[in-house]
A and B are shown apart, each in its own frame.
Chain A
Amino acid sequence: MPPAPPPIPRCDACFKEIENDDVFCAYCGYPIKGTKVEQSAFILKQNKIDYYKAEIKKKVENRIDKGATTLFCLSGLFILAAIIGFFKLQDNPQVLAFVIPYLILGIIFLLLGEYSKKKPLMCFVSGLCLYIIAELYDISERPQASPLGIITIFIIIVFLVLGIKSAVEIEKIKKENNIS
């Protein structure tokens, strides 16, 4: 029976494999051969960084949630418009031409909201641009705008832009840590 292999030395901070003669961990920079004080100072600093990262993440995730809710609300609004339009124009031969664009918009926003957890940047940028075009089309059809309508448009755009901003931060963190 062959003798049991010696246990692989591991870093005390990140638990990755290390070499016996390493002075510092190659993965996290933990002072393996340092004094107790140096080691606990390192752990303390690492915990602080983790804490801040978690804080930022919480803030960013909160904004992403708001963006996703905005997309879902938009989807609901467009589908509602399609349904109302369908019953209003039931007898008009052009009814499909009116209903289908709204229905497509509703479905697209629903999909964007659904995927915004996985690919936030893509969903918010697409959602914002599509919403702006839809609004421009709407304004060209009905030039008289109500103040309430303008405030709604403004709020929706602000939420989507904040969503994009947070998504950019997430992408930055991903790129820095080489997470795909």
Chain B
Amino acid sequence: MLPLEDELPDKKPCIKCGTLIALDGKFCNQCGARQSAQNTNAPVNSWGLLQQAGLFFGIDIVVCALAQFVEALKTFSFFLFSDIVMAISAVLFFSLNWKESKTLLKWQNFSWQKLAAYAAIAMAMQVLVHYSVDWLNLVVYSKDDDYVQHLNGNLFGTFLVVFFTAIAPAIFEELGYRGYLLQTLLKVADKEQAVYITSFLFAIIHMSFLSLFWLIPFALFLGFVRIKENTLWYGVFFHFCFNLTACIFQLL
């Protein structure tokens, strides 16, 4: 029994006179009334939304720039502070439009196979990035970079490293960029441009020219996964696996 099949309409009533007209008709062919679509009924304030997104990204820029460029602030406590500020801003902006954001937190098409596939891609990508970055660093800067130098040795330190480089960024960066920013830009621009903008902004906020070459493809992949799966969780898991692999390289 397929009751739905019979009910699928190929005509709709005119909003003024009620005559059945073609589904894609912009005007009623009997009374001439405009059949405005839902999205033109309530025009979105694109410029306002963009300014709001600008505020979100501005906070991240200021915090990251302070942490990166000011010598006096290159301490562990400021590193902690900047992470907390960015996490709070991501959560706040994400919950601004809670009704819509809520749907991104659902995970309706859950599948173990997909999860495993994403994990495998993430790890393979990280291995590739790790070796190419090492090579580039040696060529350009003649040095090895160790970005978790503050946390050393014991078990508690290891846990902190995993938390600050794998768990926290995976959750908060996804909430902020693939959650809030992408969702806002989708209202302003088409799908492609929204994903490209988010990816580019996500890449440059890391403040490393050398990393741009892998950060942009990485972010593009996450953006398209988020659009395709319509949930944040695959992205969070992918991001987590990617960063965890980096962590393992650091700890080994």
Contact = CB atoms under 8 A, between A and B. Distances in A.
B21 A121 contact: no
B78 to A, nearest CB: 15
Contacts of B65: 133, 136-137, 140
Given A23-B32, A168-B46, A129 B188 contact: no
A118 to B, nearest CB: 10
Contacts of B30: 22-24
Nearest to B69: A140
B25 interface: yes
B197 A23 contact: no
A122 B47 contact: no
A174 B46 CA distance: 13
Interface residues of B, number: 40
B26 A27 contact: yes
Interface stretch (B98-106, B110-118, B200-208, B236-244): B200-208
B218 to A, nearest CB: 16
Interface string A82-97: 0000000000011011
**How would you classify the secondary structure of chain A's contact residues: helix, strand, loop or mixed?**
helix
B31 interface: yes
A122 B193 contact: yes
A97 B140 contact: yes
Interface magnitude class on chain A: 35 or more
Given A104-B209, A121-B188, A26 B193 contact: no
Interface in B40-79: 40, 43, 46-47, 50, 57, 61, 65, 68-70
Given A96-B140, A119-B193, A29 B26 contact: yes
A165 to B, nearest CB: 6
Nearest to A177: B40
Contact of A126 (B26, B43, B142, B200): B200
A130 interface: yes
A42 to B, nearest CB: 9
Contact of A136 (B46, B69, B189): B69
Contacts of A35: none
Interface in B179-231: 188-190, 192-193, 196-197, 200-201, 204, 207, 209, 212
Contacts of A175: 39, 190
Interface string A163-179: 01100100110111000
A129 B201 contact: yes
A9 to B, nearest CB: 12
Contact of A29 (B32, B50, B140, B204): B32
Given A119-B193, A129-B201, A18 B50 contact: no
A133 B67 CA distance: 13
A23 B69 contact: no
B204 A129 contact: yes
24 contacts: A24-B27, A24-B29, A25-B27, A26-B25, A26-B26, A27-B26, A28-B27, A96-B139, A101-B209, A122-B189, A122-B197, A125-B201, A126-B204, A129-B204, A133-B204, A136-B65, A137-B69, A140-B70, A171-B189, A171-B190, A172-B46, A174-B190, A176-B43, A180-B190
Interface of B: 21-22, 25-32, 34, 39-40, 43, 46-47, 50, 57, 61, 65, 68-70, 139-142, 188-190, 192-193, 196-197, 200-201, 204, 207, 209, 212
